[in-house]
Amino acid sequence: MMRVYQWLQSHHHHHLSAALMAVAIVVLLLSPAAIVAVEDENSNSRSIISRFQEYLRINTAHPNPSYNEAADFITSEAKSLSLDSQILEFVKGKPLVLLKWAGENPSLPSILLNSHTDVVPAEFHKWDHPPFDAHLDPSSGHIYARGSQDMKCVGLQYLEAIRNLQSSGFRPLRTVYLSFVPDEEIGGHDGAEKFAGSDTFKSMNVGVVLDEGLASPTENYRLFYGERCPWWLVLKATGAPGHGAKLYDNTAMENLLKSIETVRRFRAAQFDLVKAGHKAEGEVISVNMVFLKAGTPSPTGFVMNLQPSEAQAGFDIRVPPTADVVSLERRIAEEWAPATRNMTFEFKQKGSIYDKFGKQILTAFDSSNPWWVLLEDAIKSANGELGKPEIFPASTDARYFRELGLPAIGFSPMANTPILLHDHNEFLNKNEYLRGIHIYESIIKAYASYVEPTKDEDSRAEL
């Protein structure tokens, strides 16, 4: 075959037609070696997608996630990669799988790649394909499954990236840990929170944590340096009960409705900043009413001729770490639940926006944080494009590591993908999944090879 190509090059006369050159190229491409290479690549891709589908088919949805089945699958994959694995059970029946790829210099701070094994429930009848079948649509390449975006993709991409790095002969300088944690979708209290506070975690000497991000509808990948903190607020109004026909001031319902309207105006003002493009969703305080509770129950519903003496409304508030929380607390006490209107309030949950050192829970995203710079460079060198750094609009397990003062970065390599976490027909395209593995190869290689500059090098850089 090589001789044909050389002959073509040496006899490149004017009368040699472009058609002949094209035929030669086709012959070259159809050589046995080229066909084998393509077949190997296709076979490898099929195996990778098949493993992803196998993980997606394990039903880890609440309220009864098959955690043990997921743990067995992960430990089996770890074994195939010769990774050390252990099962930690901070709470019985909720296994946390911890894998270790030992580095050549274990004294250096390690890398932690975190993902959660649980997923949210799915309404089966609202899906085009059953949510735990991991159906691969042959025409679009979409893999439909609960957890395809949130976040079984990331957990398996870590493993596939390590598989590829091992095949290439790469050896990590730093130790790389992978944690597959339970319960993230219900707060992470029996998973990542207990893990972050454990002696096991302290002994790991973690230097940086990678956790989940969000899909991006554009070409740009999204990186998250912080997240909004949940405040779950209940407003309660009281008043004298009264006949359903009587008009009087300060009824419980009237007082609560005034508060709801005040909250609604605040919500609209915050939302307007997002709609106008002045702020990203993660940068504003979001408030959404999640329940209303009032009325006097009767055997057929509610008593219709009685005004109740109590009424409540619940709100899911998300507070960015950059917010003025003192002013927000004052607003709640004075405007949303004023005592003068027989109003009281309580927090069902109220996270802090400060870490254990009293600093805002934010990961630096400038040159002061080498892990951020390494991550950006690694993504770009793998031909990924980046949008501007963001605050995650909801909550992830990353907060438990940031609370310890550790840099934690949210990232899920899903570009050109609609955001479907917790939605019906959640899917991830197989090519996007495969591309994400390539991105993680670049990141893990950069992180696991990182050598901190000496003080002399730092001084020279400043000069």
SS3 89: coil
Residue 137 known to be catalytic: no
Q: Which of 77, 160, 184, 441 is the catalytic position?
A: 184
**Angstrom distance (rounded) from CA 116 to CA 345:** 33
Question: DSSP letter string over 347-388?
Answer: EEEE--SB-TTSSBS----STT-HHHHHHHHHHHHTT-EE--
Please report, as a single letter, which amino acid is at residue 108: L
- The Cα-based distances of 384 to 49, 146, 257, 435 in angstroms read 21, 26, 49, 9
**Of 211, 236, 184, 196, which is closest to residue 344 (Cα–Cα)?**
236
Single-letter residue type at 197: G
> Parallel, antiparallel, or unpaired: how do β-strands 224-227 and 390-392 relate?
parallel
| Pair 359, 351: CB distance under 8 Å | no
Instruction: Show the beta-strand stretches assigned E in 46-192.
Output: 84-88, 96-101, 110-116, 135-136, 142-144, 176-181
User: What is the Cα Rg of the chain in Å?
Assistant: 28
What would the two tokens of residue 249 be? 């001031």
Instruction: Give me the half-sphere count of Cα atoms (radius 13 Å) on the Cβ side of residue 405.
Output: 6
Long-range contacts of 429-432 (CB under 8 A, 24+ apart): 429/140, 429/141, 429/142, 429/143, 430/45, 430/49, 430/136, 430/141, 430/142, 430/143, 431/141
Rounded Cα gap, residues 410 and 427, in angstroms = 20
- Residue 83 carries which side chain, given as an amino acid letter? L
Q: Is 422 labelled a binding residue?
A: yes
User: Cα–Cα distance between 72 and 159 in angstroms, integer?
Assistant: 15
Q: Is 185 annotated as a binding residue?
A: yes
Asked if residue 457 belongs to a known ligand binding site, the reply is no
What sign does the CA torsion over 184, 189, 193, 195 have? negative
Report the alpha-carbon distance of residue 54 to residue 70 in Å, rounded. 10
118 catalytic per annotation: yes
Q: Is 116 annotated as a binding residue?
A: yes
Largest CA distance in the chain: 105
The annotation places the binding site for Zn(2+) at: 116, 150, 185, 212, 422
Residues making up the binding site: 116, 150, 185, 212, 422
Active site residues: 118, 184
